[in-house]
Each structure stands twice: as structure tokens, then as C-alpha cells.
Structure 1
Amino acid sequence: MPEIQLGSHTIRSHGAQVARVHMHDWLILMLLVVIEIILNIIEPFHRFVGEDMMTDLKYPLQDNTIPLWAVPIIAIILPFIVIIIFYFIRHDVYDLHQAILGLLFSVLITGVITDAIKDAVGRPRPDFFWRCFPDGKGVFHPVTRNVQCTGFKSVIKEGHKSFPSGHTSWSFAGLGFLAWYLSGKIRVFDRRGHVAKLCVILLPLLVAALVGVSRVDDYWHHWQDVFAGGLLGMTVASFCYLQFFPPPYDVDGWAPHAYFNMLADSRNGNQSSSINANALTVRHSEFESVYIRSAPDANAQDSSSILEDMESGRRN
């Protein structure tokens, strides 16, 4: 296990540095936001809906138990609060940044995939009849018997976006990432048999599942839509988490990859500086040895010259 340096990497000390390293990731997130907006503006595919197909599409049109504005609160704000709490406990900006980045990627990638499939498939919702004919009087093409809707265009547009469930996919993307995050922080898979830890990480998944169930109860989605949305959201959340963090069962599963990369770089930097210092010491000692060796030779030359002068004086 690498050396732990908790509390020494805060937003003030290392925040700007970490953000600069992942600047391209934030640009990609902005691009995903633009794509998500475009996918919600364009018109979905209007699948053929014949008169005899209306039998399973006459469920009542009613309000959402969980409104659309509540989905970002469940999928983004709630996990974000938990991530912030762990930051104030550990004061590790690497964990904070990577967790927020992974959470946003999980939700936005899921959103783009979900809405792209919605627009391409164009499956009618269970309450499509009342969206198409708010007065209850069906109007169909005399030859093809395809529906000729008389309702509001925006309501009909939403009626062609049943598969997969966006509420469910977003919830499983955000809360699924939170479940992965918590499992690493509280070390669920430490092989000590604490089932209470397992209950903690299953709680976010239960909330996401209840969101999916509400979509069927409100007759806004078929059960296949909810199942596909949950599978999609959980799959993307898993990939995004493992992109930034080790698996929770790993001995280093409590911190992101960037944290350990930083420790490795700092350790390599210290080693290289110590190697340079040792090299300078060796060179200095070599210089001293050369000086010491050369000094006796110089004295010998001086003494020999003096003797020669004395002998020449005697001869004279």
C-alpha cells in the first residue's frame, strides 16, 4: 500500500493543479450537455400505431409521482452531498475532483444514450391514447389505420419517448455511482463480514429501483422500459467509477487512481533528487582525492629543485 498523505491536498493547495490536468474532461462534459439539449429538442421517431394496437396504450394520463425536476436532485445533488461530506472528513481534493467528474460523466453519458435511443425507437407510452386523443375520440387513417392525433404537439411528442425510462436510467447512473463510491470508502468487501456495510450501499440502489417502479405505477413506462433504463444506468455508472477509482475490493479501493499516481510521481521525484545529490557528493569526493594525490607530487618537485641548487653551489 502506498504511503498515505491525508489532509495535505486541499482545494486551496492543489485544486487548480488537478483541474488543469483534467481540463479536456470538463470540455467533454460541456459537449455532452449540448448534445443532451439537442436530443431533447429534436422530434422523436413517430412509430406506426394502428387502431388494434391501442388496447395496451389506453392507460390513464396522470401526473408523475416523481417530477422531472426531482430527478437531478436524486441523481446528482444527493451523491454530490455525500462526496462533499467525505471531502471535509479527509481533505483530499483528488478524491473530490475525481468523484464529481465520475458522477457527472456517469449521469451525462447515460442521459445522452437514453435520449438518443428514445428518439430513435419512438415507442409509445402506455398512456399514448389519451395523449393522442384527449377527448377520447380516436381518429385513424382510412387506409393504414394509423393514428391521426388531435392532442397537443408537445404532449404527443413525449408520448413517443417510452423506451428506455429516463427517470430510471438517470437514477441508477447517479445512485449507482454513489453505491460504488460508498463501497470503496467504507470498505464493504474487507472480508470481515459486516452486513451493515452492505445495507449502506444497497440503500441508494433501492431508491433508484423505487424511482423505476413509480414510472410503471404512473403509466408513463412499460416494465421493459424501466428494466432497460436501470441496466443502462448501472452499467455506465460502473464503467465511469472504475475509470477513476480502483475496484472496492482492492486494498487501495478507498482512493482514486489520480491520488496514487501523484504519490508515485512525488516518490520518483524524491528519488531522482537524492540520486542527483549522491552524484554531486561522489564528484566532490573524487575532486578532493585528485587534489590530495597531486599535492605530494608538487612538494617532491619543489624539494628536488632545492637540492639541485645546493649541489650546483658547492661545485662553484
Structure 2
Amino acid sequence: MPEIQLGAHTVRSHGVKVARTHMHDWIILLLLIVIEVILNVIEPFHRFVGVDMMTDLKYPMKDNTVPFWAVPMLAIMLPLFVILVYYFIRKDVYDLHHAILGLLFSVLISGVITDAIKDAVGRPRPDFFWRCFPDGKGVFDPVTKDVMCTGIKSVIKEGHKSFPSGHTSWSFAGLGFLALYLSGKIRVFDRQGHVAKLCIVFLPLLIAALVGISRVDDYWHHWQDVFAGGLLGLTVSSFCYLQFFPAPYEVDGWGPHAYFQMLAESRNVNPSNGSNVQQAELESVYVDSQHCRELSRVNTHDSSPILEGTNGRMGY
């Protein structure tokens, strides 16, 4: 069996094999897309909105500071760009495939949960009055005092989708995944106290937070909607990231689980090449002397013979 080296597992050499292994995951992604489309088509629950409730729902209708088309650009395309750049640096198809899969799962699962809750809750947006009565003349049922909207049906439908914020949940799902991905790659928790690394990790979260703030400023959402959307997106992205990668604070947090499993399996298949595998890893990865304390802890890890040489290179 050939020696295993960093950069030896590219899209061309192992891409098809890795994709086939996770074929069922890609099928589930397609199913999530179908569910997402259905949730946006169906009519949301129309919550009772009485005369007295209109006091907090008369904010002016404004355009989106962050348009709908910009959310996928920030939540998907920006993290995807970073993932591709890292692939061209390291040439690891395991990292590329699992990062893309985790990112898409983060965004789509967040989107499905968000839109399902939107349709079920049917909370009116802060500008609901002007959506319901574009002429400014309120019409209410004489008995129940519920609104009798005279506006455009599609605009009214969108007015019942305030909770939680979709812009915010998508942004925190994609950019939250990116923050976790970067924290593992630049080894934020290397115990060397480089605060500059934290600034890099916080930058995607700041962008996501500004997207959420814009939803309140534009009167498309209440602050509770944005808070819930951000919490939902961060939670889902954390689960999806840990499904494919170790926690960023772990010694082997820079690489995907599949990479280390592949190394372990290769050594079990051909134990005689174990020393060659370890030597190849040591030659391919620069070990920072300041990480010796962390490396000593790896001796108690099941796969420590494999990981001894994989801790330093990704500390830039």
C-alpha cells in the first residue's frame, strides 16, 4: 500500500469515492430543498390581529437593507470561497467534501426549521398594518374585531412570517459554520494567546449580527425574531460542524474525522507500513515546538501514533 501523505487525496484521485460514500447525505440535501420550497409556498397561519394590537404593528414599510439574494451570497458563497481556498492550499478532498456538506446542511436545516416555525406561528411583522391596509384605512370585523385586510395577498402572506428571522438564521448558520471552520484551521485554541486569531473568527459572526440588526432597522422583524433566528442558526451550525470535524479546541481540530479515520484504517490494513505512514506525515507537516505540551496529551489518544505529526502545519 502506498505511503499516505498530506495532499495525496485530491478531488481527481478520491473525489468520486468520497461522494459515493455520502450519497445518502446528498439525497437528504435534495429532500431538504424540496421541503424548503413547499414551506415557502403554503399559506402561513393567520394569527388573530385585533384593533388594539395594531399599535405595535404600524411601523412604515421599507425596502430590505440586505436583499434576499444577498443572504445566500453571505451564508453560502462566502464560506464556500474560504473552503475552496483552503483546499487549493492543502489538497485534501476529505476536508473539502465534508466542509461543503456540513455548510449546506447547516443552511438548509436552519432554513427548514425557520420556515416551518414561521408558518406555524404566523406572527405579524412590525409593518403589518401597512401590508394589510395600504391605503391607511383599517377595516375590522364588527364582531371579532379581527383585521379584514384589503392589501395584496402575497404581501399580506409575507406579513405573517415574522418569527423567527430567516435572514438571521441563514446568516448565523452559514457564517457560524465558517467561524468554527476557521477556528479549527488557524488553531485559535492553541494556548498561545494570539487574540488576533479570535478577531478573524469573530468577523463572520459580526457580519451575521449586522444582517440581523438590519432586519430590526428595516421594521421587517421584532428583536425577538432576530434573537431566536441567530440562536437557531448557531445551534444548527454547531451540530453540523461537529458531525464532520472535531471540536476546534482539540489537538486534531484542524482536520475532518474522515481524514484521521482513513489514516487509522490504512495502518490497520498494512501494519508494516505504520512507520512509513508516520514518517510521511512528519515530513509533510511542520511541527511547532511550542505545541509539545499538546502533543504530549495525544499519547493517551487512541490514534496517537497517527496524529503525532499532524498538529503543527495548520497553526498559521
Q: Which amino acid aligns with 1:171?
A: S
Corresponding residue of 2:281: none
Q: Which amino acid aligns with 2:83?
A: I
Distance in 2 of aligned mates of 1:240 and 1:129: 39
Find the residue that maps to 2:270 and give its secondary structure: helix
Moved over 2 A (4+): 271-274
Once the two structures are superposed, the pairs formed by residues 145-160 of structure 1 within 5 Å of their partners are 145-160=145-160
Corresponding residue of 1:139: 139
Q: Gapped runs of 5+ residues in structure 2?
A: 275-316
Q: Which amino acid aligns with 2:162?
A: S
Q: How far has the Cα of 1:10 moved from its partner?
A: 0.3
User: What's the CA shift string for 1:65-107, capped at 9, x where partnerless?
Assistant: 0000110000000000000000000000000000000000000
Corresponding residue of 1:177: 177
Distance in 1 of aligned mates of 2:43 and 2:117: 12
Q: How far has the Cα of 1:4 moved from its partner?
A: 7.3
Find the residue that maps to 1:229 and give its secondary structure: helix
TM-score (norm 2): 0.85
Once the two structures are superposed, the pairs formed by residues 43-122 of structure 1 within 5 Å of their partners are 43-122=43-122
Distance in 1 of aligned mates of 2:192 and 2:208: 27
Distance in 2 of aligned mates of 1:4 and 1:134: 67
Find the residue that maps to 1:123 and give its secondary structure: coil
Question: In structure 2, do the counterparts of structure 1 residues 97 and 223 end up closer, same or farther at CA, with 3 Å as the change threshold?
Answer: same
Distance in 2 of aligned mates of 1:178 and 1:63: 28
User: What's the CA shift string for 1:154-191, capped at 9, x where partnerless?
Assistant: 00000000000000000000000000000000000000
Corresponding residue of 2:18: 18
Q: How far has the Cα of 1:272 moved from its partner?
A: 8.2
TM-score (norm 1): 0.85
Q: Which amino acid aligns with 1:121?
A: V
User: What's the CA shift string for 1:171-227, capped at 9, x where partnerless?
Assistant: 000000000000000000000000000000000000000000000000000000000
Corresponding residue of 2:226: 226
Would the aligned equivalents of 2:176 and 2:204 in 1 still touch at CA under 8 Å?
yes
Q: Which amino acid aligns with 1:206?
A: L
Identity %: 82
Q: How far has the Cα of 1:6 moved from its partner?
A: 1.1
2:247 maps to 1:257: no
Task: Indicate the RMSD between aligned Cα atoms, in angstroms.
Answer: 1.3
Distance in 2 of aligned mates of 1:273 and 1:54: 74
Distance in 2 of aligned mates of 1:23 and 1:47: 41
Distance in 2 of aligned mates of 1:272 and 1:10: 25
Number of residue pairs matched by the alignment: 272
Once the two structures are superposed, the pairs formed by residues 27-38 of structure 1 within 5 Å of their partners are 27-38=27-38
Q: Gapped runs of 5+ residues in structure 1?
A: 275-316
Corresponding residue of 1:242: 242
Corresponding residue of 2:301: none
Distance in 2 of aligned mates of 1:87 and 1:70: 25
Distance in 1 of aligned mates of 2:257 and 2:231: 26
Question: In structure 2, do the counterparts of structure 1 residues 20 and 152 end up closer, same or farther at CA, with 3 Å as the change threshold?
Answer: same
Q: Which amino acid aligns with 2:32?
A: L
Corresponding residue of 2:266: 266
The structure with more helix, counted as a fraction of residues: 1
Corresponding residue of 2:213: 213
